[in-house]
């Protein structure tokens, strides 16, 4: 019997496996609700700070720079600049298990306005080996938008 911290032995510890598989409702708040309402008209909305004029996209209530309440919603352009990206080779399945992706995919940080925060989204239509920082990308929407996260399907080279 090995003795560890404060007299604890290997037998002292249990290693339970607790598989969690449940559904629950998560209230996204009024700002993300407005964001997804904009999706019904294929609009990308952000909240603009009355203090420093920064735009948060997706919108949020408080400015991350000066902490003022942001009440003004502004529409952002559909095109932007790819500021950074990563190429993914694994996907997370339900339950958190990682497995190899069918093919490499690109996740980009996209600037839709000089004053706006960066929007994280999939970038498709370009070889992952040929993606470059600074390239112009544009939003691609699902044909049938429903006002949810999946309406804005991906970005592609503009
Ligand atoms: Zn601000």
Measured in Å, residue 45 CA sits from the centre of ligand 1 at 17
Strands 98-111 and 136-141: unpaired
- d(CA 80, CA 140) in angstroms, rounded, equals 12
What is the pLDDT tens value at each position of the chain, 158 positions in all?
Answer: 455 556 666 666 777 777 777 788 888 899 999 999 999 999 999 999 999 999 999 999 999 999 999 999 999 999 999 999 999 999 988 777 889 999 999 999 999 999 999 999 999 999 999 999 999 999 999 999 999 989 999 999 99
pLDDT value at residue 8: 64
Measured in Å, residue 117 CA sits from the centre of ligand 1 at 12
- For the chain, the farthest-separated pair of C-alpha atoms sits apart, in whole angstroms, at 66
Please calculate the CA angle 82-87-92 and round it to the nearest 5 degrees. Answer: 120
pLDDT value at residue 16: 73
Element (H, E) at 32: helix 29-39
| C-alpha 7 chain-centroid distance | 46
Measured in Å, residue 54 CA sits from the centre of ligand 1 at 6
For the whole prediction, is pTM greater than 0.75? yes
pLDDT value at residue 37: 97
pLDDT value at residue 3: 55
pLDDT value at residue 46: 98
Measured in Å, residue 55 CA sits from the centre of ligand 1 at 8
- b/e string for 15-38 if b means 16 or more Cβ within 10 A? eeeeeeeeeeeeeeeebeeebbeb
- d(CA 68, CA 49) in angstroms, rounded, equals 7
| C-alpha 140 chain-centroid distance | 16
Measured in Å, residue 149 CA sits from the centre of ligand 1 at 26
Measured in Å, residue 68 CA sits from the centre of ligand 1 at 6
pLDDT value at residue 20: 76
Measured in Å, residue 96 CA sits from the centre of ligand 1 at 36
Measured in Å, residue 3 CA sits from the centre of ligand 1 at 55
Measured in Å, residue 43 CA sits from the centre of ligand 1 at 23
Please calculate the CA angle 100-18-101 and round it to the nearest 5 degrees. Answer: 10
Measured in Å, residue 82 CA sits from the centre of ligand 1 at 23
């Amino acid at each position: 019997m090995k003795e560890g911290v404060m007299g604890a032995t290997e037998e002292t510890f249990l290693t339970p496996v607790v598989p969690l598989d449940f559904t629950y409702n998560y209230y996204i708040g009024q700002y993300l609700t407005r964001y997804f309402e904009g999706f019904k008209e294929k609009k990308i909305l952000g909240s603009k700070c009355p203090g420093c004029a920064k735009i948060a996209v997706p919108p949020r209530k408080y400015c991350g720079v000066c902490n003022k309440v942001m009440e003004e919603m502004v529409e952002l352009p559909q095109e932007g600049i790819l500021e950074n990206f990563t190429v993914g080779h694994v996907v997370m399945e339900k339950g958190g298990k990682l497995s190899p992706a069918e093919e490499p995919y690109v996740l980009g940080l996209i600037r839709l306005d000089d004053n706006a925060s960066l929007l994280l989204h999939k970038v498709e239509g370009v070889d992952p080996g040929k993606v470059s920082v600074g390239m112009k990308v544009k939003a691609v929407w699902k044909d049938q938008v429903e006002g949810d996260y999946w309406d804005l399907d991906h970005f592609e080279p503009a």
